[in-house]
Structure 1
Amino acid sequence: MRVLGRLLLLCLALVLAVPAGALMLGLALVLDPAAQAWLAGGALAGLDATLSDLAAGMAPETMLLALAGIAQALAVLLVAPPVLVALVGETLRLRTLAWYAGGAGLLSAALPWLARGGAGPGGAERLAAEGHLSAILFLAGAAAGLVYWLVAGRSAAEPAGAA
Structure 2
Amino acid sequence: MRLLGRLFLGAFALVLAVPCGALVLAAGVLLDPVSRDTIGALGLIGIIEGIDDIAAGLPPDVAIGAVIAFLKALATLLLLPPALAALIGETLRLRALAWYGGATGLLTAALPWIARGGVKPPSGQGALVAEGRVMVVLFLTGAVSGLVYWMIAGRSTVDERTPPVHP
Shorter-normalised TM-score: what interval?
Answer: 0.7 to 0.9
Question: Counterpart of 2:159 in 1: which secondary structure?
Answer: coil
| Corresponding position: 1:12 with 2:1 | no
Letter in 1 for 2:140: L
Distance 1:17 1:52 in 2: 34
Secondary structure of 2:155 counterpart: helix
Do the aligned partners of 1:94 and 1:157 also contact (CA within 8 Å) in 2? no
Following superposition, the deviation at residue 34 of structure 1 comes to 1.9
Deviation, structure 1 residue 112: 1.5
Match status 1:30 vs 2:25? no
Deviations 1:80-122, CA, capped at 9 Å, x for gaps = 1000100111111111111000000000010121121156442
Point out where structure 2 has 5 or more consecutive residues left out of the alignment: none
Match of 1:104 in 2: 104
Contact 1:20 1:144 in 2 (8 A): yes
Give TM-score, length-normalised by structure 2: 0.82
Q: Distance in 2 between matches of 1:44 and 1:22?
A: 16
The verdict on how the C-alpha distance between 1:103 and 1:118 changes in structure 2, with shifts beyond 3 A counting, is: farther
Residue identity matched to 1:72:
K
**What's the RMSD between the two structures over aligned residues?**
2.5
**Is contact 2:104-2:146 (8 Å) kept?**
yes
1:52, distance to aligned residue in structure 2 (A)? 5.5
Amino acid at match of 1:132: R
Matches for 1:50-65 after TM superposition, within 5 Å: 50=50, 53=53, 58-65=58-65
Distance 1:127 1:48 in 2: 27
> Per-residue displacement from partner, 1:46-105 (whole Å, max 9, x unpaired)?
365346645765435423322221111110111010001001111111111110000000
Contact 1:21 1:141 in 2 (8 A): yes
Question: Are residue 77 (structure 1) and residue 77 (structure 2) matched?
Answer: yes
Identity %: 51
Q: Is the 8 A contact 1:105 1:138 kept in 2?
A: yes
Aligned counterpart, 2:148: 147
Structure 1 partner of 2:116: 116
Alpha-carbon spacing, 1:127–1:18, altered in 2? closer, same or farther (3 Å) = same
| Residues matched between the structures, number | 162
